[in-house]
Amino acid sequence: MNPAQKKGTVYIVDDDEAIRDSLQWLLEGRDFHVRCFDSAEAFLNQYDAREIACLITDIRMNGMSGLELQDKLAERSAALPIAIITGHGDVPMAVDTMKKGAVDFIQKPFDEEAITSLVSRMLEQAQTNFASQQQAATREALLAKLTARESQVLERIVAGRLNKQIADDLNISIKTVEAHRANIMEKLGANTVADLLKVALGSNPAPGKTP
């Protein structure tokens, strides 16, 4: 893998070929990996949410606008940092996109250093978002291994209930609670109650591993 690929992909979506070409030239000259699309529809047909990437799109385009594209990506729960290209009259619209989660807006004419810095920040955010998604997916896969009863026991462990209290809550014996706890620890790859809580609460980057 070359250094450019390590940084992730910069998607450029704009129906203006001159803008696409100038941004691609600028960013590839700074060792970014760039993919260009002439419409939001074409981009959505190719976009892979599993890829570490960021998006630069024009606010005004033929067909689907940059605002509509942002909404479509939000519907897909895409963790894709977005920057919006605007003309001077589009600043109020750009502010709306930022309220919806866009990282920033880029005004024409472009400031090359500002764009380069922004893209670097967006790709760093994309890496963080991707890691969080992977962590959440791992957590969900681990929790899916639990039986309904084990999930009930785990819920009470997280709430700080003692074995006797859990037994009373669920009308089962303490020994049964202890057996469920042991199964839960094994299925979630937890060595300690602290590990267990980290997985259950979604704050464990590496389930089953302790320092």
One-letter amino acid for residue 165 of the chain: Q
- Residue 209: pLDDT band by 50, 70, 90 thresholds? very low
Listed range (22-26, 28-32, 57-61) with the worst mean pLDDT:
57-61
Q: What is the pTM of this model?
A: 0.69
Rounded CA-CA distance 143/95 in Å is 39
Residue range 51-55: mean pLDDT, rounded:
92
CA 97/CA 134 separation, integer angstroms: 26
Cβ pair 147, 179 in contact under 8 A:
no
Residue 12: the pLDDT is: 96
Span 116-175, pLDDT tens digits:
999 999 999 998 888 887 888 888 888 999 999 999 999 999 999 999 999 999 999 999
Kindly tell me if the per-residue pLDDT of 98 is higher than 70: yes
Q: Compute, in degrees rounded to 10, the torsion defined by CA atoms 114, 120, 126, 131.
A: -150
Residue 131 has phi, psi (to 5 degrees) of: -60, -40
For 14-18, what is the mean pLDDT? 93
Residue 6 CA to its chain's centroid (Å): 17
Q: Which two tokens stand for residue 94?
A: 């750009």
The dihedral sign for the CA sequence 113, 9, 120, 54: positive
Residues sharing a CB contact under 8 Å with residue 32, sequence separation 6 or more, in sequence order? 4, 7, 10, 119, 123
Model confidence at 203, pLDDT cuts 50, 70, 90, reads low
d(CA 67, CA 57) in angstroms, rounded, equals: 9
Residue 51 pLDDT > 90, yes or no?
no
Phi and psi at residue 132, in whole multiples of 5°?
-65, -40
Whole-number average pLDDT of the chain: 85
pLDDT band at residue 79 under the 50/70/90 scheme: confident
Delimit the domains of the chain by residue range: 3-134, 145-200
Q: Which CATH class is domain 3-134?
A: alpha beta
Which CATH architecture is the domain 145-200 placed in?
A: Orthogonal Bundle (1.10)
